[in-house]
Amino acid sequence: MKKLSRKVLALLLVAALLVTVGCGKKVANNSEVEKTTVKIGYLPLTHALPLFEEKELLEASSNSTIEVELVKFGSWPELLDALNTGRIDGASVLIELAIKSIDEGNKLKIAALGHRDGNAVIVAKDIESASDLKGKTFAIPHRMSSHNILLHELLEKNGLKIEEINVVELAPAEMPAALASGQISGYCVAEPFGAKAIAIDAGKVLYQSNELWEDSTCCGLVLTQAFIDEKADIAKEYVKQYLEAGNQLDKEEAVTVATKYLGQEKDVLDLSLEWISYKDLTFTEETYQDLLEKLKKYQIFETSLSYEDVIYQ
């Protein structure tokens, strides 16, 4: 009986050694690394491309400790609610909305810009100049947006008042069809929905954003304070990789990534990505102050929040 027990014990020890060696090989060969999942929200816009590029780069890396879970939303209010309640760790969101949310007491930080430029003013074909918009309906995605600021800049540049046009809020995806049907006479929104109107021959570009507001601010990467506090090293690495992803998004790479994640036609993306840049997405204090001045000037929003109150450092 004792001999049998010793044999069984010996067999068990050999089996344990084999399992240990086998597991070691698996880790070595597959370079398995323990990963932390980061949940990031977005709307299907070209302004969110750095999120998609970062996900691609992290998945291709054998030693990344971050796994990105992208969460798609259908509207800004829906996305912001998820961000404010901590159901996601961060998001690509309108910076103006993020600032307002922080001002209301929500614990968020702006970590970087989402892009530079890339917001065209699109109008119906019968609109020859800004003055033709008098009495017409113009759409923006949200009152708290760079698109609303660009509309005010457009009107000021042409000696018009906001009261002289009818401003409505529409979901970005609805705008090209609304223009084509005559429901609206113009709009300003995140890409690729400006380019979409051109592609379907429903409208034309009246102004590019850099003609109205050079180096304009729009979407940005926003993180929750809880994520920053609880996973400080992961948050730092995520932002670092995000900025690097933006710098790698040349035209060819941007079209490839946008095609995969947005499902838009190539001609739409080709045009859209001619208008936008993802290089150097650092959100500076100068950029922040410029934005606050315009929000105050056009009576959109006013806050006493300092740059340090909103920036992730």
Residues 143 and 137: beta-carbon distance below 8 Å:
no
pLDDT at 32: 66
Q: Max CA-CA distance within the chain? A: 102
Per-residue pLDDT band at 195 (split at 50, 70, 90): very high
**What pLDDT does 63 receive?**
87
**Distance between CA atoms of residues 89 and 72, nearest Å:** 13
192 contacts 269 by C-beta, under 8 angstroms: yes
Per cent of the chain over pLDDT 70 is: 90
* Domain locations in the chain as residue ranges: 36-115+217-310, 121-212
Residue 229 — pLDDT band, cuts 50, 70, 90? very high
Alpha-carbon distance of 14 to 19, in angstroms, equals: 9
Domains 36-115+217-310 and 121-212 share a fold: yes
Phi and psi angles of residue 37, each rounded to the nearest 5 degrees, phi first: -80, 130
For all residues of the chain together, what is the average pLDDT? 89
Q: How much is the pLDDT for 79?
A: 95
**Predicted pLDDT at 263:** 84
Q: What's the rounded mean pLDDT across residues 193-204?
A: 95
Q: Which CATH class is domain 121-212?
A: alpha beta
89: nearest Cα among 229, 244, 280: 229
Q: Is the pLDDT of residue 183 over 70?
A: yes
Question: 297-304 long-range contacts, Cβ below 8 Å, gap at least 24?
Answer: 297/152, 298/148, 298/149, 298/152, 298/162, 300/96, 300/143, 300/144, 300/148, 300/149, 300/152, 301/96, 301/99, 301/100, 301/144, 303/99, 303/100, 303/103
Alpha-carbon distances, residue 204 vs 125, 197, 201 (angstroms):
6, 7, 8
Which range has the worst mean pLDDT, 7-21, 63-77, 282-296, 298-312?
A: 7-21
Q: What CATH number was assigned to the domain covering residues 36-115+217-310?
A: 3.40.190.10
Q: Which helix (H) or strand (E) holds 186?
A: strand 186-188
DSSP-based three-state secondary structure for 86: coil
- The answer to whether the beta carbons of residues 287 and 86 sit under 8 Å apart is no
Helix 76-84 with 95-103: angle, nearest 10 deg: 40
pLDDT per position as a tens digit, 18-52: 444 344 333 333 456 789 999 999 999 999 999 99
Mean pLDDT confidence for 215-239: 96
Q: Which strand (E) or helix (H) includes residue 166?
A: strand 166-169
User: Which tens digits make up the pLDDT trace of 98-142?
Assistant: 999 999 999 999 999 999 888 999 999 999 999 999 999 999 999
Closest CA to 196 of 211, 218, 174, 217: 174
Q: Region 195-208: what's the mean pLDDT?
A: 96
**Among candidate residues 107, 139, 112, the one with its CA nearest the CA of residue 123:** 139
In degrees and rounded to multiples of 5, residue 142 shows phi and psi of -165, 145
Q: What are the Cα distances from residue 295, in Å, to 163, 172, 182, 207?
A: 17, 21, 30, 20
Quickly tell me which residue has 């109150």 as its tokens.
309
Better-predicted residue by pLDDT, 1 or 153: 153
Tokens 């399992």 identify what position?
Answer: 19
Q: Predicted confidence band at 12 (pLDDT cuts at 50, 70, 90)? A: very low
> How far is 293 from 298, CA to CA, in rounded Å?
9
Count, in order, helices (H) and strands (E) of the chain: 14, 12
Decide: 153 and 215 in contact? Cβ < 8 Å.
Answer: no
Give the model's confidence band at 288: pLDDT under 50 very low, under 70 low, under 90 confident, else very high. very high
Amino acid 18: pLDDT: 41
Q: Match 């001002």 to its residue by tokens.
A: 103
Q: Which pTM value belongs to this model?
A: 0.86
